[in-house]
Amino acid sequence: MKLEKYVDKSKKKRKIILISLGVIVLISISLLLYKSFASFTESAEFPIMNGKVDYFGNSDIYFVFYKGDDELLEEMPQKDNEENLVFDHGECDNGASILWNENEWAPLVKGLNKVKTKCSLYFEEYVPTFDKELVKCGKAGTGAAECIKNNASLDTVNLMTDDTSEANIRYVGATDTVNNYIDIGDKDSSGAPILWRIIGVMNNITNLDNGGQKESLVKIIRAESIGDFSWDSSTSGINNGYGVNEWSQADVMKLLNPQEVYSGTPTIGGSLYWNRESGNCYSNNNEANKTCNFTSSGLSEEAKNKIAKVKWNTGTFATRNTSEWTASATYEAERGSHNGKEQCTSNGGGTYCNDEVERTTTWEGYIGLMYPSDFGYAVGGSVRETCLGKSMYDYAGESCNTNDWLKPSGNTWTMTPSPNSSDARSVFLVYSSGYVSHSYAGFADEVQPVVYLSSSVKIIDGNGEKGTPYKTELAS
């Protein structure tokens, strides 16, 4: 009886020992498997090494870091490093793969089921570009000016703040690099949208639709010319038939705007573009004219409702000196107190300076033309700084013209008079070869309407590309 009890106790003790040993073995195996597999497939917490002789040392994973394809780095670049290096891609052997955690600035190795795995991480220098997917202003709609200002913080290549006291935001660069197309509701005869392009956000604009408040408004230009017309024409007895360089009474101003912004109803050209009508338009000196038709290219009612009535500047330089025509100096002259006739009058006048039209340096209306300074400030690329220091008369050199999206396909009018001691008929023109000079108002050159969008216009979709332009609507 005593022996049986002893045997039973011995068996139980042996059984307990065996079970305990089995549990220990299972735990050890589990820990080993976890260490060699699970920790490396699910966690980024592993020693990062970049040894010179011993690849692995005491680690099961070895990292090598590269700048570009083949420049070996001593260590992994830190986040926000001085060289502006960003992660490009990673490669591992033994079937493992790399995921990159941008927030943690760390790699995550997946599928690491063998020891001694080597991974290569490649970093590239970040060059800011326009992110066409990121820079949308929101399906729900964002105010047009706010949208472009937001974009400027993301697109540091084609959106830049100018050096004026207003610190306007402008699109800059070659025409094929600038995604600034916008649809304000016009359609051609086939139903396709008639596109405009955004010059930028102009600050301290007097919005007459909003009680004369100073606002930041989006300024846009028709993407293509509406035709070639006289800026202004006259009979042979006035400035020898070559027109008068005063915007407030110019024939092209009357062509573009509603009758409410000028007195009288011209028998030729008046409000045809604004009203989407056809008729005759001035096309040369001595009041020569031709037929013109805007029934499929003029403004739609939808577009007109999105245009603000503002105060425009129509000043100019005191004298004609081409060396002074930098973008910044021209911008100041446009907002100055000089007009297109004062120098001619002070020098005795003459056949080309005998008009009796009162001169002004501001004008209130809906549709104007680009300023010479708009063209000057649109230059971008690596030549921007050099070009902004040059006269726009010399923009055909230094690649200024090929890096300026406002370079026209044909000689194109601005709305700024050009002073001269011998005539009062000259107006600044942007030539197709990409520089600023002047021409006589009576001649026929290309016309590209320019407007400011109402502060109630929202951008609801699009990314500015020609095929997917910004879409607009009025805030309800």
pLDDT for res 94: 83
| Residue burial 151-183, b: 16+ Cβ < 10 Å; e: rest | bbeebeebbbebebebebbbbbbbeebbbbbbb
276, pLDDT greater than 90: yes
What are the pLDDT digits (tens) for 290-328?
Answer: 999 999 999 999 999 999 999 999 999 999 999 999 999
What are the pLDDT digits (tens) for 384-418?
Answer: 999 999 999 999 988 999 999 999 999 999 999 99
- The last residue of one of the domains, among 77, 112, 127, is 127
Summarize the confidence of residues 335-350 as an average pLDDT: 87
- Please tell me whether residues 353 and 414 are part of one structural domain: yes
- The last residue of one of the domains, among 127, 162, 188, is 127
Q: How far is CA 32 from CA 18, 19, 21, 37, 358, in A?
A: 21, 20, 16, 8, 95
> Is 231 part of a structural domain of the chain?
yes
Residue 473, by phi and psi: left (phi above 0), alpha (psi -120 to 50) or beta?
beta
- The last residue of one of the domains, among 102, 127, 152, is 127
> Is 3 part of a structural domain of the chain?
no
**Domain of 444?**
130-476
Summarize the confidence of residues 179-184 as an average pLDDT: 96
Q: How far is CA 255 from CA 124, 125, 184, 250, in A?
A: 54, 52, 20, 9
93, pLDDT greater than 70: yes
- Please tell me whether residues 394 and 442 are part of one structural domain: yes
CA angle 129, 407, 442 (to 5 degrees): 155
- Please tell me whether residues 402 and 260 are part of one structural domain: yes
> Is 2 part of a structural domain of the chain?
no
> Is 152 part of a structural domain of the chain?
yes
Residue 125 half-sphere exposure toward CB, CA atoms < 13 A = 4
Strand 117-125 with 436-440, pairing: unpaired
Euclidean distance between CA atoms 298 and 219, whole angstroms: 18
Q: Give the residue from 247, 455, 238, 267 showing the smallest Cα distance to 361.
A: 247
> Is 83 part of a structural domain of the chain?
yes
- Please tell me whether residues 46 and 169 are part of one structural domain: no
Helices vs strands, H then E, count in the chain = 10, 24
Reported as a pLDDT band with limits 50, 70 and 90, residue 469 is: very high
241, pLDDT greater than 80: yes
pLDDT for res 127: 61
Select the more confidently predicted residue: 452 or 112.
452
- Please tell me whether residues 217 and 274 are part of one structural domain: yes
* Residue 232 tokens, joined: 């202004």
pLDDT for res 39: 41
349, pLDDT greater than 90: no
Reported as a pLDDT band with limits 50, 70 and 90, residue 5 is: very low
- Please tell me whether residues 173 and 296 are part of one structural domain: yes
- Please tell me whether residues 69 and 206 are part of one structural domain: no
**Residue 416 identity:** T
Number of structural domains, the chain? 2
- Please tell me whether residues 381 and 283 are part of one structural domain: yes
Select the more confidently predicted residue: 132 or 235.
235
pLDDT for res 36: 46
CA angle 426, 429, 431 (to 5 degrees): 140
- Please tell me whether residues 108 and 144 are part of one structural domain: no
**Contact call for residues 166 and 202 (beta carbons, < 8 A):** yes
Q: Is the pTM of this model over 0.85?
A: no
What are the pLDDT digits (tens) for 220-229?
Answer: 999 999 999 9
What are the pLDDT digits (tens) for 32-77?
Answer: 544 444 444 333 333 444 433 344 555 678 889 999 888 999 889 9
Euclidean distance between CA atoms 31 and 381, whole angstroms: 59
> Is 6 part of a structural domain of the chain?
no
pLDDT for res 45: 38
- Please tell me whether residues 297 and 431 are part of one structural domain: yes
Reported as a pLDDT band with limits 50, 70 and 90, residue 84 is: confident
What are the pLDDT digits (tens) for 377-388?
Answer: 999 999 999 999
> Is 4 part of a structural domain of the chain?
no
Reported as a pLDDT band with limits 50, 70 and 90, residue 22 is: low
In the block, tokens 């100018």 appear at: 162
- Please tell me whether residues 116 and 152 are part of one structural domain: no
> Is 34 part of a structural domain of the chain?
yes
What are the pLDDT digits (tens) for 142-172?
Answer: 789 999 998 888 888 999 999 999 999 999 9
pLDDT for res 129: 45
- Please tell me whether residues 178 and 167 are part of one structural domain: yes
Sign of the CA dihedral with 445 first, then 446, 449, and 450 last: negative
Q: Which residues pair with 200 in a beta bridge?
A: 170, 219
Three-class SS of residue 26? helix
Quote the mean pLDDT of the chain: 87
